[in-house]
Structures are given as C-alpha cells and as structure tokens.
Amino acid sequence: MLLVNPTKKINGTVYAPPSKSYTHRAVICAGLANGTSKIIQPLKSQDCISSLNAMKALGSTIDIKKSNDDELENEVWTISSDGNLKVPKNVIDIGNSGTTLRILTSLVSQIPHNSIAILNGDESIRKRPMGPLIEALSQLNIEVLSNDNKAPLVVKSSKIDGNIVKITGDMSSQFISSLMMLLPFNTQDSKILIEGDLKSEPYLNITIDLLDKFGVSIKKDEINNINNINKKNKTNKKENAYLIKANQTYKATDYIVEGDYSSASYLIALGVLLDSDITIKNLFKDSKQGDKEIINIVKRMGADLEIRDDEVIIKNSKFKLKGIDIDVKNTPDLVPTLAVLGCFAEGTTTIYNGEHVRIKECDRLMACTKELKKMGAKIEEKPDGLIIQGLDIDNGETLKGAELETYHDHRLIMAFTMAGMLAKGQTKIKGEEAVSISFPNFVDVIKSIGGNIAIE
C-alpha cells in the first residue's frame, strides 16, 4: 500500500526515466541485427525487461553492465545476435507489456521453418485485443492460432507471402509498428494501408525513427482518397499508408535512450499544481514522442514553463489553471494525468477521442472515473473520454483522501499519487508495486522532491 499525504511544496532536480517505447524498440532491433549493439541508458522497467528476456529466448546474447555514471545508476545493455531469430525453447512470457506482445507477434514468424513460437502474458495481457494484427498477418500468409483473438498466441514460422497489408488504424498503433518491423524482411517491396482513423500516430513516428537508427527505412505515403471527398466542405480525407523496401537488414548500432515524456507528465503536472521549483532533466525539446504534448496542454491550461533543449523548468508556481478541451487521439497515455489536472482547473475539462484508452492495462476511462469519484472529483465518463468539472479551489474545495484501487495499472498509481498529494487527508493506494512496469523508482523520485509519501 502506498500512503500519500498532503504535500505543499516540491523542489529539486530530477531526471525523467528513459523512454519505454524507445527502449523496447532498441532492444528488439538489436536482436534482429547481425552484430553487437549497445543500448545505453535503457529503461530498466518490468515491461522493457520483458522485451529483453524475449529477445534472449529468441537467441540474442545479453550482457548487462552498470554505466560509469554512478549517480544515475544507468546501465548499458550489450546485445549480440547473428540476425536470425532462433526457435524459443519455452513459452515466451511477455508479462504485462502490450508493446512486446504486439511487436513480437509478427516477428516470431521469422524463426526457422517448421517451428512455432508461443507468446503469453499476465491476466491483463490476455484481455488485450489482437484480432486486427492476426487478421493482417493472415493477409501475408502468416498463421497465428488463438482462442478469441487474444493471448496465448501460437505463431507458426512462415515466409512473408504478399506485399499489401490492410489494417485498421483506430485500435492500436502497436499492430502497425509490428508490421513495420516485420516487412523489411519481405522479398518484395510492401505497403501497409491504414483503414479508418489513425490513432496514436506519434508511436509510429517513434518506430520509424528508431528503425532508421538501425539502418531500416520506412516512408509515409499519404494518399488523398477521392472516395472520401466530403462534398459539403470540399475537404479531402487523407488515407495513410507506409512503404517498406524489400530485403532490408537491421544494422547493429549503439543507441542512447532519451527521457520519457509520459513518465515525466506526472512530474510536470505536480510541478504546475504545487508550489514548485523543479527541473526535469533528460527531456528533449526535439523529441518525437507524442506525449511531449503535456507541455502544450499545461500551457493552454495557464501554466508557465521554461523549455530548454534537454530540460523543463517550473519555477514560482502554483498556477491558476483553467479547464480546456483536450483531444487525446495521439496521447492516450496522458489521460490519467489529465484527469487529475482537470480536477484542479477552473471550469470544465473535456477529454475526447480516447476510445482506445479503454483497452490498455485496464479500462482507464472507467477506472479514473470510479476511483477519482471516491476522492470527491466531479468526473463523468463518456464513451470516448471524460468530462471533469474543476473544484472550487479559491473557496477551499479540494479532493479528499480515500482508499483507491489501481487495477495493476502503473499509470493509475502515478496519477492517483498526484491526486493524493493535493488532497485533504491521507490517500491509500493499493497495488503500488505495479509502478515498476514503467517508472521503477517513482516513489523515491517523488520523495526526493519533497513528496510526503511512503510504502506501508
């Protein structure tokens, strides 16, 4: 249980943890390359260790060393491979990591012929949808067996047979990242055609960026679809497609992982909500991470931040925030952070375009509504988002401490910790150990800046 007490002020300098999305991709690409890659400053979290162990099970050799930078306790992961995935000796357990499951489902089809790989994970992972990816792979004659289109999955080794693959864009970009990482092995040039709305697109840009560092090129091809011309306002609806050249090979490389904006969102939000003097290092201004948008969101709500090339500084807050409309199509992981921010912003905060937020570690729209209501939040669940009426802070209204469930969901634990620090009375957060999924030293970091929290 995490005990969270009201906290008035935070100050100090902290480092954002390394990016989860970049660490996953770097580890997997390193295992696909012929040679030795060094992943410098990787995120040592449960999810990324799932990717590391999976690549080990598929034949990579892994050596973990502390880096010289003692203060940050960073590591260097040296990953060696001959570029060919091996038949795994056992079921590959990907734990709680949706990214690992989705990306590997395509790639494990490239193990030697006449063999199978089995992917499985925890209770939450066995509920996450896989249908569109399984169907897309069948268009390439790759066979995946499952009950109900969910893990456990049995993937049969197969040559890629086909060069155009259609997939829905509105459920998870991870399906598309998965195809992007598979198709460079195709012997023909290939194209991924996205059907419907494309959500979480910044994660595809992360995939393209990282693949480029490992020598693989993917190009976006935007097609103006004449069938979709909206005659009334004469706007062309764009269809998204990606082009992948045949017979590309992953090249071993050394890669330094940048800081994670999704994890930093809790620190940034706390910084603007409390009396703060705080610097968050390892956040790059030119990052491709979609969750960098947290900076624009808090600015739109009325906060003032100093953005440097590689750090974010918040001084002399606390700001008087106002409620705004927020489209979370491209930033689903920010939703728990935004739900808490909305409680402390004057007026209405509307979070929309987030149907995909329901199919993460848990249904985060349901969970934020149910749990924050226990603290007195005025929050309403909508099919695609949340409507939050800000509390009357000027007249002393605030959240009240409560005992909260977290559904084994790391992002809920961190967002509810913020809520608890701003609430009146103690908040008890159950299942706090799940922060290790993406931000293992979260509790220590919050304590180091003055957060009055403790594990019981």
Ligand X SMILES: C=C(OP(=O)(O)O)C(=O)O
Ligand Y SMILES: O=C(O)C1=C[C@@H](OP(=O)(O)O)[C@@H](O)[C@H](O)C1
* 97, interface contact from ligand Y, ligand X, none, CB < 5-8 Å by kind: ligand X
* 200, interface contact from ligand X, ligand Y, none, CB < 5-8 Å by kind: ligand Y
- 286 is a catalytic site residue: no
19 touches ligand Y (CB under 6 A): no
* 21, interface contact from ligand Y, ligand X, none, CB < 5-8 Å by kind: ligand Y
Are 173 and 200 within 8 A, CB to CB?
Answer: yes
**Category of 182 on φ-ψ map: left (φ > 0), alpha (ψ -120 to 50) or beta:** alpha
Q: Which residues are annotated as a binding site for phosphoenolpyruvate?
A: 20, 98, 128, 174, 364, 411
The rounded distance, in Å, linking the Cα atoms of 134 and 23 is 25
Q: Which of 288, 356, 364, 408 binds ligand Y (CB under 6 A)?
A: 356
Question: Which residues of the chain form contacts with ligand X (CB under 6 A)?
Answer: 47, 97-99, 333, 360-361, 411, 438
> 426 — phi, psi (to 5°)?
-80, 140
Residue with the two structure tokens 């960098």: 292
Site for ligand Y in 297-336 (CB under 6 A): 332-333
Using only C-alpha atoms, the chain has a radius of gyration, in whole angstroms, of 22
* 371, interface contact from ligand Y, ligand X, none, CB < 5-8 Å by kind: none
Measured CA distances, 152 to 120, 168, 237 (Å): 4, 22, 37
Site for ligand Y in 95-124 (CB under 6 A): 99
Are 81 and 114 within 8 A, CB to CB?
Answer: no
Query: Is 73 strand, coil or helix?
Result: coil
Choose among 153, 61, 63, 62: nearest CA to 103. 153
Tokens of 170: 């509105």
**CB proximity list for 22: less than 8 A, separation 6 or greater:** 206, 210, 257, 258
Q: How many residues bind ligand Y (CB under 6 A)?
A: 11
Q: Which of 177, 186, 317, 369 binds ligand Y (CB under 6 A)?
A: 177
Q: Which of 200, 287, 337, 417 binds ligand Y (CB under 6 A)?
A: 200
Q: Which of 7, 21, 50, 168 binds ligand Y (CB under 6 A)?
A: 21
Query: 181 or 345: whose CB is closer to ligand Y?
Result: 181
Are 305 and 318 within 8 A, CB to CB?
Answer: no
| 425-428-429 Cα angle (round to 5) | 140
Q: Where does this chain touch ligand Y (CB under 6 A) — which range of 58-66, 170-178, 264-272, 296-304?
A: 170-178
Least distance (Å) between residue 203 CB and ligand Y: 4
Torsion of CA 227, 232, 234, 239, to 10 degrees: -40
Query: 292 or 360: whose CB is closer to ligand X?
Result: 360
Q: Which residues are annotated as a binding site for 3-phosphoshikimate?
A: 20-21, 25, 172-174, 200, 333, 360
Give, as one character, the DSSP assignment of residue 246. Answer: S
* 369, interface contact from ligand Y, ligand X, none, CB < 5-8 Å by kind: none
173 touches ligand Y (CB under 6 A): yes
Query: 122 or 135: whose CB is closer to ligand X?
Result: 122
- Residues forming contacts to ligand Y in the complex (CB under 6 A) are 21, 99, 172-174, 177, 200, 203, 332-333, 356
Q: Which residues are catalytic?
A: 333
